[in-house]
Structure formats: C-alpha cells, structure tokens
C-alpha cells in the first residue's frame, strides 16, 4: 500500500510536496555530479585554462579558446612565443586570434611555400610541440616522441642515459627534451645524444611544428626591449617615428651611422649566434693572422686543439656560419669580437627572413625588402587546418602522460593486480572460516571474540603503521608456526585431561604455553637469525596486516546466523560433511555479503599507498597508487586530476561487477 493514497495525490498541496521532494533529489544529484564534472573538465585542461572551473571546457566548442592552447603547446613558454611572433603576450589566456587581411594572408601563403620549398638549415628553426622543460606546457606530441626515442635507445635504463650526459636522473619523469637557445652566442650545437635525437625529429616533423628563429623578434626581445622598454623611448633615442616595435627590423648589413649602427654592432658582434653571421672574404687573412697569433705560429698545436690536419695556416678558410668543433668555435667568436681585425662593414647576417626575401626575389613576388615574417598568421593557418585533431590531442594529452608514466616506471600495474587478487582471496577465505566457526558452533566466548575483533577498529591505521613495520621487519614466522601447533596440542590435551575446567581457562592456559614456547623458548634454542625473518618488500607484508578483518567477521557471522538451520540438518541427513555444508550451503547463499567484503578488500588494497610506501622500500614492488603518488608530486594540477580519473576506473568497474550480486541479496529476499 503506498504511503500517499491515490485520492491524496489529487490534492494541490500533496502534488507540490511531491514536486518539492523530486526537486530536492535532483538538486542532491547535481551536487554529487557537479564536482565529478569539474574534475573531469580540469583533467583535460592545461595551464592556459585550468583556472577556469567549468563543467565543459570552453575550447571544446570555441575556437578562440582553442587558439591560445595551441600556441602554448607549440612554443611551450611565453618567452619563446614572444621571440618568434614578435609581440608582447604576457600570459596565454590573453591571446586572441589574429586579424588577417588579404595582403597578410597572401604573404603567409608565400611563406608556407617557402617553408616547403627546400630543406632548411638546422639553425633556422627549432622543434615545436616539445614543452618548456618544466611541465607547465603539458607534454606535447614531439616531446613524447623525443622521450620515447631516448627510452628505446637506452632500453629504459635511466642510469645509462645519466652516465652518458653526466646528469644524475633518478627516473624518466625528470628526463625532458632540451630547449636549445639557437639564437644565443653560447650555443654551439653540441654533439650529444639528446640534441641528436632532437635534430632527427626536427627533420621528420611536420612543417607546422617548426619554431622559426625570427632574428628581428630576437633583436627586439633580447636587446632593444632591455634598453628601451617602450617604442617611444626608442624613438627618442634614435630620432625615429616608429609606432610599433615590429617596424624596427634587424637589417642584413649594419646601418650607415648613428645609434642604430651601435645597436646592430653590439647585438651581432657580441650576442647573436655565429651561425647567422656572415663575413666578407676580405677578412680571411686577418682571421688566419689571429689564429697564428693565438697558437704561436704552430699549426700542429691548432690541429691538436681543433682535431684537424692543416698543413699550414694558409689552408684555413673563413667559416660561414658556426664552426664544427668547440675550440674552433671559441677562436671564431674571438675573431668576430675583435673590432680591429673584423671591421663592422665586413659583417652581415643571414637568417630565415633573408632567405624568405631571396625566395620572393626568385619568384618575382615583390616587394621583397623588408619582408616581415608573418609567423603568427602562418601559425593560425596551420591551426585552422587541424582544429579537430588538436581538440582530441588536448582531451587525451594528460591521460597519455599518466599512462606513459605508469608503463615506464616499475611493475606498478602487475604488482597491483597481484596484490588486489591475493587480498580478495585471503579476505574471502579467512573471514568466512572464522565467522562460520562462530556461527555454527556458538562457543561461549563468541561475543568476547567478536568484541575483541571489533576493538581493533578503534585504532586508526596511522597508529598501527609503525608497530606493523617493526613486526614485519623482524617477523617471527617460525615462532608463529610452533606456537600454533603447541597451542592446538595443549588445548586438545587440556580438553581431554581437564574437561570440567572452563573453556576460557583452558584457552588462556594453552595460549600462555604456546606463546612461551614459540616466542621465548624457541629463539633461545635456534637463535634470532633463524626465528625471525624480514617480510619487507614482499606481498606478505601487504596482505598479513589486513588478512583478518574484525568488521568483516562480525558482518559474516550475523549473515550466517540468518541462514535456515534446516538446510544444515538436511545436509547432515544426506551425509554431507562440514566442508560440504560450508562451501555448498553457506558460501553459495552468502554471495551478496561476500561481494560486499570483496569490494571492500579491493578498495582498501587498491587505494593503499602510505603503508605500501613504508613497508615496501623497493621500487620494483611498488603498487600503482605509490607510483601515482610519486607522479602527483612532480606534475601540475591538471595532470593530477587525470591521474585521479584513471585511478578511479578500476574501482568503478569492480563496483559495477559486484553491484548486481549485492542487489540480488537485497531484492530477492524482499520479493520472497
């Protein structure tokens, strides 16, 4: 019979009351689902939009929000983007899509054709989509490819890679792609494995992934802006009328006179990478004279330093670009800095813009000088061609990071599967046996035993962590075995010899004798080295502390008591043994409560990380939660949320599996 009758439902007040209850339930459901949606949303964000807490990330439906994420992914840092795009950015969320007119689009299409016309020199561009080295830009595709290549080259051995570089890496999480400052004088394109792999990926990467070295932007970002923060200050110092800094370009040749010539000389002679500097042939003899002076006219000494085989200083040619060796690089840099031997008018620069101007001149697409590189427009065109692919990349990137970390570190998945399986098996073996004995035989001390078991729940796990560690470190395995045998033997003997003595007294006496023999007498007879063993770094250390659960025994005992006694009597009449009654009747009818215990055992074992971290020092035995805990100490919040989502999936699947069994235990008795 319903609580509210059909007649009562016709009342307006009753209907309003029912509507209010439904509204309250809907609000309650929303309050539960909304935080989950926020966690899912944050797990697919990056530093650009992780601060915007919305159930649905804006970039999934708004191209204006997707654009800054693309730039962040390609350039990694705001500094790198400013040095390429030739404008101030500030921070990623402030970026808006560029306004592109017809002339700018045509120039961008010309640059795209230039980009695809011939292989570029390696100093003209860096590899985009590799991150910024600090994980704040996430883990873009080329960064993942670089790490996978390095991992395969060294067969997953971090120590071998560390020894090769001379940098102590503790794990692959610390290994990140290098960020070569191609425009800086100090960078001499070292022949290291990390740069070799980066160059290999650069050659194979899509043209859209190139980070063009924009010398005009580098000149502004690294030199002009440091001296004159605003273009008004630059105009005042130089007597010019520029409206924006992107009108101030680094000319191929030094300006004729004035402050601009001094700026050009300071930047090119002392700061710009030698790879972009070209010298006239007229200074070649001066270069040889400098080398002869530095090496005391001894060509063999130069050959030893350079690793060459020149017969005379006259054989040495003036390099165009960066020399090969480290010492020759230093000598050439010293020549470029020497104003007396290397006059300013003999110097020029050649970079991507100069190459682009030459390309336009060959095609006849003038005017060709100066041709400001339309890099932001080119980036936007590249972005517009693959918007759907980039949305999918950003949705899955953080999850790929977590999965790669799990697969590259230890045996976390295997250990977790083994640990959870053993924990479920032990829980569904020991607890039912203990509860069955208390339920079937009803010893006088049943409730005292239950009270003792329940009292263990009064102590939080943190209190028992250190005692458990000390016990497992020196575990009296042999003593337990001897004490068990002696205790059973003494209890049986006392029951035969003194049947009138209360059971509690006999049990206490047997326990005292067993403890004395197993834990006092035995170590003195065989020695502590034999009596005690260390269970650390074993699955036993994880399983034994939680093998018997007081609440589980109490729960099972109550459920077993509710089973009809007639079933056991019928089994006895049919000649069924105790094992048959336990397995066929008790366990078969207790599947719902066993499913509850299995779910609790899995949840406790799967989510355990602190105890596992304490008693399992060996990384090879760490479980999944320990590795995820380590990951969360090294990554941004959005990757942490992705790890939480991945960690929740097995628990959710196990719950779905156990739900039907649990519901049958609730619904079927009600239906009967």
At 173 the three-state DSSP class reads helix
**Could you give the CA distance from residue 612 to residue 627 in angstroms, rounded to a whole number?**
11
Please indicate, yes or no, whether residues 131 and 85 belong to a single structural domain of this protein: yes
What mean pLDDT comes out for the span 152-170? Answer: 86
Asked if the model's pLDDT at residue 531 lies above 80, the reply is no
For residue 219, give both structure tokens: 């000149």
Query: What's the Cα-to-Cα distance from 636 to each of 91, 136, 281, 287, 588, rounded to whole Å?
Result: 17, 7, 53, 51, 48
pLDDT digits (tens, 9 = 90+) for 558-567: 888 888 888 8
Please indicate, yes or no, whether residues 522 and 593 belong to a single structural domain of this protein: no
Q: Answer whether residue 453 is part of any domain.
A: yes
Sign, CA dihedral 300-305-310-313, equals negative
Asked if the model's pLDDT at residue 670 lies above 60, the reply is no
Please indicate, yes or no, whether residues 550 and 434 belong to a single structural domain of this protein: yes
Q: Answer whether residue 574 is part of any domain.
A: yes
The torsion of the CA quartet 146, 151, 153, 155, rounded to 10 degrees, works out to: -170
Find tokens 């250990």 and name the residue.
Answer: 415
pLDDT digits (tens, 9 = 90+) for 460-498: 777 777 888 888 888 877 778 888 888 888 888 888 888
**How high is the pLDDT of residue 672?**
43
Q: Answer whether residue 234 is part of any domain.
A: no
Q: How confident is the model at residue 379 (pLDDT cuts 50, 70, 90)?
A: very high
**Could you give the CA distance from residue 110 to residue 283 in angstroms, rounded to a whole number?**
36
459's CB contacts (< 8 A; 6+ apart) are none
> pLDDT above 70 covers what percent of the chain?
95
**How high is the pLDDT of residue 369?**
63
Q: What are phi and psi of 45, to 5 degrees?
A: -110, -175
**How high is the pLDDT of residue 211?**
93
What mean pLDDT comes out for the span 259-286? Answer: 92
Sign, CA dihedral 328-331-334-340, equals negative
What mean pLDDT comes out for the span 145-166? Answer: 88
**Could you give the CA distance from residue 97 to residue 444 in angstroms, rounded to a whole number?**
80
216's CB contacts (< 8 A; 6+ apart) are 86, 246, 248, 249, 250, 353, 372, 373
The torsion of the CA quartet 634, 640, 645, 647, rounded to 10 degrees, works out to: 30
Q: What are phi and psi of 210, to 5 degrees?
A: -80, 130
pLDDT digits (tens, 9 = 90+) for 216-258: 999 999 999 999 989 999 999 988 898 889 889 999 999 988 8
In the beta sheet, which residues pair with residue 349? 277
Please indicate, yes or no, whether residues 450 and 325 belong to a single structural domain of this protein: no
**How high is the pLDDT of residue 17?**
84
**How high is the pLDDT of residue 220?**
93
Domain that includes residue 623, residue range: 409-461+534-671
**Could you give the CA distance from residue 527 to residue 188 in angstroms, rounded to a whole number?**
66
Asked if the model's pLDDT at residue 213 lies above 90, the reply is yes
Q: Answer whether residue 603 is part of any domain.
A: yes
Asked if the model's pLDDT at residue 137 lies above 60, the reply is no
Q: How confident is the model at residue 133 (pLDDT cuts 50, 70, 90)?
A: low
Q: Answer whether residue 544 is part of any domain.
A: yes
- Range among 16-20, 350-354, 614-618 rated most confident: 350-354
- Range among 124-138, 167-181, 283-297, 574-588 rated most confident: 283-297
Please indicate, yes or no, whether residues 566 and 523 belong to a single structural domain of this protein: no
Q: Answer whether residue 577 is part of any domain.
A: yes
Extract long-range pairs of 634-638: CB within 8 Å, 24+ residues apart. Answer: 634/135, 634/173, 635/135, 635/401, 636/47, 636/50, 636/135, 636/136, 637/42, 637/50, 638/42, 638/43, 638/44, 638/45, 638/46, 638/47, 638/50, 638/138, 638/398
Asked if the model's pLDDT at residue 387 lies above 70, the reply is yes
Asked if the model's pLDDT at residue 417 lies above 50, the reply is yes
Tell me the H-state helices in 295-386. 299-306, 326-337, 352-363, 375-385
Q: Answer whether residue 223 is part of any domain.
A: no
352's CB contacts (< 8 A; 6+ apart) are 120, 124, 125, 212, 213, 214, 215, 373
For residue 382, give both structure tokens: 């590249």
At 277 the three-state DSSP class reads strand
For residue 438, give both structure tokens: 């208390």
What mean pLDDT comes out for the span 592-602? Answer: 88
**Could you give the CA distance from residue 508 to residue 448 in angstroms, rounded to a whole number?**
13
Query: What's the Cα-to-Cα distance from 589 to each of 269, 393, 563, rounded to whole Å?
Result: 88, 49, 8
- Range among 72-81, 494-503, 606-615 rated most confident: 72-81
What is the CB neighbour count within 10 angstroms for residue 671? 5
Q: Which of 363, 80, 387, 69 is nearest to 212 (CA)?
A: 80
Q: Pairing between strand 277-279 and 125-127?
A: unpaired
pTM of the model: 0.82
Q: Are 402 and 643 in contact (CB under 8 A)?
A: yes
Q: Are 379 and 620 in contact (CB under 8 A)?
A: no
**How high is the pLDDT of residue 197?**
92
Please indicate, yes or no, whether residues 625 and 660 belong to a single structural domain of this protein: yes
Identify the DSSP state of 184.
Answer: B
The torsion of the CA quartet 250, 256, 257, 262, rounded to 10 degrees, works out to: 40
Determine the straight-line distance between the first and last CA of the chain, rounded to whole angstroms.
17
Please indicate, yes or no, whether residues 142 and 114 belong to a single structural domain of this protein: yes
Please indicate, yes or no, whether residues 83 and 23 belong to a single structural domain of this protein: no
Asked if the model's pLDDT at residue 666 lies above 90, the reply is no
State the burial class of residue 276 (Cβ atoms within 10 Å of its Cβ: 0-12, 13-18, 19+). Answer: buried
Q: Which of 161-170, 222-231, 516-525 has the lowest mean pLDDT?
A: 516-525
Please tell me the chain's helix, strand, coil percentages from 3-state DSSP, rounded to the nearest 5. Answer: 70, 0, 30
What is the CB neighbour count within 10 angstroms for residue 423? 22
In the beta sheet, which residues pair with residue 125? 212
**How high is the pLDDT of residue 375?**
93
Q: Are 250 and 264 in contact (CB under 8 A)?
A: yes
Query: What's the Cα-to-Cα distance from 238 to each of 242, 264, 265, 443, rounded to whole Å?
Result: 10, 13, 15, 102
Please indicate, yes or no, whether residues 505 and 585 belong to a single structural domain of this protein: no
Please indicate, yes or no, whether residues 389 and 260 belong to a single structural domain of this protein: no
3-state secondary structure 107-132: HHHHHHHHHHHCCCCHHHEEECCCCC
Instruction: Give the DSSP per-residue string, 529-574.
Output: HHH-B--TTSHHHHHGGGSS-HHHHHHHHHHHHTS-HHHHHHHHHT
Q: Are 48 and 72 in contact (CB under 8 A)?
A: yes
Q: Answer whether residue 641 is part of any domain.
A: yes
The torsion of the CA quartet 51, 57, 63, 66, rounded to 10 degrees, works out to: 50
pLDDT digits (tens, 9 = 90+) for 332-373: 999 999 999 999 999 999 999 999 988 888 887 665 567 789
Where residue 630 sits, what CATH number does that domain have?
A: 1.10.3720.10
pLDDT digits (tens, 9 = 90+) for 553-595: 888 888 888 888 888 888 888 887 888 888 888 888 888 888 8
Asked if the model's pLDDT at residue 667 lies above 70, the reply is no
Please indicate, yes or no, whether residues 491 and 541 belong to a single structural domain of this protein: no
Considering the chain, what is the average pLDDT of its residues? 86
Q: How many domains does the chain have?
A: 5
For residue 163, give both structure tokens: 């020894």
Q: Are 140 and 74 in contact (CB under 8 A)?
A: yes
**How high is the pLDDT of residue 455?**
80
Please indicate, yes or no, whether residues 646 and 635 belong to a single structural domain of this protein: yes
């Amino acid at each position: 019979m319903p609580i509210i009758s059909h007649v009562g439902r016709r009342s307006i007040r009753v209907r309003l009351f029912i509507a209010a209850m439904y509204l309250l339930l809907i609000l309650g459901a929303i309050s539960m689902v909304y935080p989950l949606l926020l966690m899912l949303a944050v797990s697919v964000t990056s530093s650009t939009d992780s601060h915007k807490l919305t159930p649905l990330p804006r970039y999934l439906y708004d191209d204006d929000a997707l654009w800054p994420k693309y730039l962040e992914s390609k350039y990694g840092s705001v500094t790198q983007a400013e040095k390429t795009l030739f404008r101030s950015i500030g921070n990623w969320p402030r970026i808006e899509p560029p306004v592109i007119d017809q002339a700018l689009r045509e120039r961008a299409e010309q640059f795209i054709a230039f980009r695809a016309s011939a292989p570029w020199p390696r100093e003209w561009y860096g590899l985009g989509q590799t991150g910024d080295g600090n994980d704040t830009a996430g883990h873009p595709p080329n960064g993942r490819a670089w790490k996978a290549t390095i991992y395969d080259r060294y067969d997953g051995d971090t120590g071998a890679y560390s020894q090769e570089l001379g940098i102590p890496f503790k794990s692959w999480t610390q290994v990140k792609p290098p960020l070569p400052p191609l425009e800086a004088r100090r960078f001499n394109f070292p022949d290291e494995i990390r740069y070799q792999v980066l160059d290999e990926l650069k050659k194979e990467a899509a043209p859209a992934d190139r980070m063009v070295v924009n010398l005009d932007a580098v000149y502004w970002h690294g030199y002009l802006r440091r001296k004159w923060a605003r273009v008004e200050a630059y105009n005042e110092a130089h007597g010019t009328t520029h409206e924006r800094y992107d009108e101030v370009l680094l000319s191929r040749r030094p300006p004729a006179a004035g402050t601009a010539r001094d700026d050009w000389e300071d930047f090119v002679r002392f700061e710009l990478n030698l790879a972009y500097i070209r010298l006239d042939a007229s200074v070649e003899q001066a270069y040889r004279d400098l080398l002869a002076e530095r090496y005391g006219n001894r060509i063999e000494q130069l050959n030893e330093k350079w690793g060459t085989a020149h017969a005379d200083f006259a054989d040495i040619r003036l390099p165009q670009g960066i020399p090969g060796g480290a010492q020759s690089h230093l000598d050439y840099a010293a020549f470029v800095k020497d104003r007396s031997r290397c006059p300013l008018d003999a110097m020029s620069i050649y970079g991507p813009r100069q190459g682009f101007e030459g390309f336009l001149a060959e095609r006849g697409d003038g005017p060709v000088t100066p041709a400001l590189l339309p890099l932001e427009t080119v980036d936007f065109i590249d972005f517009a061609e693959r918007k759907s692919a980039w949305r999918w990349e950003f949705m899955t990137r953080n999850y790929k990071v977590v999965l790669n970390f799990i697969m590259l570190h230890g045996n976390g998945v295997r250990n977790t599967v083994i640990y959870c399986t053993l924990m479920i098996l032990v829980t569904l073996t020991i607890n039912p046996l203990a509860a069955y004995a208390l339920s079937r035989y009803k010893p006088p001390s049943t409730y005292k035993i239950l009270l003792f078991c329940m009292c263990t729940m009064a102590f939080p796990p943190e209190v028992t962590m250190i005692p458990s560690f000390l016990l497992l470190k020196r575990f009296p395995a042999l003593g337990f075995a001897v004490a068990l045998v002696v205790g059973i033997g003494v209890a049986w003997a006392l029951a035969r010899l003194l049947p009138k003595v209360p059971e509690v007294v006999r049990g206490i006496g047997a326990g005292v004798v067993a403890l004395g023999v197993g834990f006092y007498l035995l170590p003195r007879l065989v020695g502590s080295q034999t009596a005690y063993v260390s269970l650390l770094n074993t699955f036993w250390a994880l399983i034994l502390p939680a093998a018997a659960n007081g609440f589980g025994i109490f729960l099972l005992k109550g459920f077993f008591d509710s089973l009809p006694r007639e079933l056991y009597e019928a089994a006895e009449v049919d000649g069924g043994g105790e094992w048959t009654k336990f397995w066929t009747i008790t366990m078969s009818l207790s599947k719902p409560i066993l499913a509850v215990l299995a779910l609790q055992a899995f949840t406790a074992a799967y989510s355990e990380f602190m105890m596992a971290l304490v008693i399992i020092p060996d990384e090879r035995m760490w479980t999944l939660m320990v590795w995820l805990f380590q990951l969360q100490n090294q990554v941004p919040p959005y990757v942490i949320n992705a790890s939480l989502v991945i960690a929740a999936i097995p628990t959710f699947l196990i719950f779905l599996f156990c739900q039907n069994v649990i519901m049958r235990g609730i619904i079927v008795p009600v239906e009967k």
